[in-house]
Amino acid sequence: MPESKTNRIAIYVSAFIIIILILFALLRDNADAITLKQAKELLQNHNVEKVVATKKYVYLKTKKGYYKIPFSQVTPDMFADYKVEVDNESNILLYLLVFILVLGLGSLAFRKWQKKSLKEIFTVSESKNNTDFSPSEGNTHIEAIKSDVSFNDIGGISDVKVELEEIIDFMKNPKRYKSFGARMPKGVLLIGPPGVGKTMIAKAVAHEAGVPFYYQSGASFVQIYVGMGAKRVHELFAAAKKNAPSIIFIDEIDAVGKKRDGNRNDEREATLNQLLTEMDGFEGSSGVIVIAATNKIDVLDAALLRAGRFDRRVFVELPTKREREAILIKYLEKIPHELDVKIVANMTVGFNGAALATLVNEAALLALRQNDFRVTLEHFEQVKDKVIFGKKKLQMLNERQKAFRATYQAGKVMVATYYDITFEKLMLSNEKLTPATDEPFIKQELESRVKMLLAGIAACDIKYNEHASSAKDDLDEAKKLVKKMCEEYGMCSSLLPDKKEQELLLKRLYEESRALLESLLKVLEKIEYVLLERESISKTEVKEYLNEVF
């Protein structure tokens, strides 16, 4: 809740309490209790000026003060010489409370009507000043988001957490840093591939610091109307400063923060200029920190990255094996399961946090469809390829096509197992064995992968002297990988190779893959048989067949 609104409510509550205390002081019963004997003496001596009777007490007013005696102790004869007034003590208090309540509600209704009238006047005035093409988006009110994500909800970010703990501590204890003469960075840039949890990390920082969280995507600033993107940036920073300390999170900042070429002055550049101006306008005591996320830091404008704006850069990489274990444990907390998380972490190389969440969810849904009480490793193996490649409609293969596919897949899975390429299980219907990753490889690892990609073609050429058109994807990937090895990685005979060297390398790797398959034809036949019967085979089974030969 904004601070101004909180203060207003506190004032109203305080005023109400003060009024109640005043009424209590005025209306409380301050008469002294006396005995029947004392009351008779006052009445007989004619010291009583006024007699008031209520349901509980009879009140005697004298020059010295007020006295009361319980109504049950007196008789009417005692007041024969006096005029007794009958009063209902609750009526006065009740009427006053009703009056105060009506007065308070009436004043609140009047203030609300007054604000509404002023808003309508300003809206009409603004619509007159603007053209008919003014977008409605410019009038949106920016509200803070209450973050319910904590660092405990995110697994595998221990390194990132250390980097951001200083910011959390600064927002909780700013005097500690100011007294030491230190200042925290105005901006933090989270850099990493999609799906690694950059938005969740920013929300966790806001939650741990206990401050308002303002979320905007970079694309929301890009407007087709002149000046609207800059206006939205100004409104965002104004709202954050008003409710400081607070955090502004700009997702996909590259949408608005791309490099300026100087040849044009379009709306995007005007919005970027406004963003730069707002970040320069931060005061040391503003208490606002900007966190932005991008997966394309190379396209960001240099002015955005200079010191004084995004001072700190935090790289959020794909999770390691240990981090994948931590993430999986978090997602499996509320799901009944019976599996070793380490095995699932081993089979999910290259998965980001979002992919792991989808994998766990798909496995749980599959378990429910199959009426299983627990999620097992088998469920994960069945949905893994669906998460990586997506669900495709299975082709209807005739017997000859199915035989070609079995041979093709048998060649790939045997070479992949021989060179220990990461995978857990191969399905007959899969077009790919494992997803490509951007991890650095040595030359031998890259050559092994190319051999695996060409192994299906080699196996079909050995058995049928021809192969199917479904080999296109693997062949394209093999060519692309060989091209990178020669042109980008310098892994050919010279650092400046020609196209002929690529052809020679591709041909050599194909021949080596074919030679390996020809030396293990019996193992290849066993794998084909399993694929035709079960339409799937695991890496463990292929290893057993290879161990029988070696």
Domain boundaries, the chain: 92-134, 151-315, 327-334+344-389, 399-549
Give the number of C-alpha atoms closer than 13 A to the C-alpha of residue 524, restricted to the C-beta side. Answer: 24
- Of 10-14, 292-296, 466-470, 537-541, the one with minimum mean pLDDT is 10-14
Q: What is the pLDDT of residue 407?
A: 93
- Beta bridge mates, 86: 53
Burial 378-392 (b: 16+ CB within 10 A, else e): ebbbbbbbebbeeee
**Contact of 531 with 473, CB cutoff 8 Å:** no
Q: Nearest-CA neighbor of 223 among 214, 238, 235?
A: 235
CB 233 within 8 A of CB 274: yes
d(CA 16, CA 20) in angstroms, rounded, equals: 6
Question: What's the fold here for domain 327-334+344-389?
Answer: Helicase, Ruva Protein; domain 3 (1.10.8)
- Identify the pLDDT of residue 142: 66
The pLDDT > 90 percentage for the chain reads 14
Q: Is the dihedral of CA 12, 14, 20, 26 positive or negative?
A: negative
Q: Which fold has domain 399-549?
A: Methane Monooxygenase Hydroxylase; Chain G, domain 1 (1.20.58)
Contact 67, 31 (CB under 8 A): yes
412 against 116, higher pLDDT: 412
Instruction: Report d(CA 221, CA 269) in Å as an integer.
Output: 11
pLDDT: which is higher, 505 or 96: 505
Record the tokens describing residue 84, joined without a space.
């007794």
Per residue in 447-460, pLDDT tens? 999 999 999 999 99
pLDDT recorded at residue 526: 93
Per-residue pLDDT at 511 = 95
CATH code: domain 151-315 is 3.40.50.300
With cut-offs at 50, 70 and 90, classify the pLDDT of residue 119. Answer: low
DSSP designation for 78: G
Q: Do residues 264 and 219 lie in contact, with contact meaning Cβ atoms separated by under 8 Å?
A: no
Q: Kindly report, residue by residue over 17-51, the tens digit of the pLDDT.
A: 776 666 666 555 667 778 777 777 777 777 777 87
The pLDDT of residue 137 is 41
| Identity of the highest mean pLDDT range in 113-122, 431-440, 514-523 | 514-523
Q: What is the pLDDT of residue 479?
A: 93
Share of residues in the chain with pLDDT > 70 (%)? 76
> Does residue 302 register a pLDDT over 60?
yes
| pLDDT value at residue 95 | 61
Cβ-Cβ contacts under 8 Å for 306 (sequence gap 6 or more)? none
* pTM score of the predicted model: 0.53
Residue 124 has pLDDT above 60, yes or no: no
CATH topology agreement for domains 327-334+344-389 and 399-549: no
**Residues paired with 344 in a beta bridge:** none
Mean predicted confidence (pLDDT) in 467-478: 89
Candidate from 3-12, 186-195, 371-380, 477-486 with smallest mean pLDDT: 3-12
- For residues 516 and 489, the answer to whether their CB atoms sit within 8 Å is no
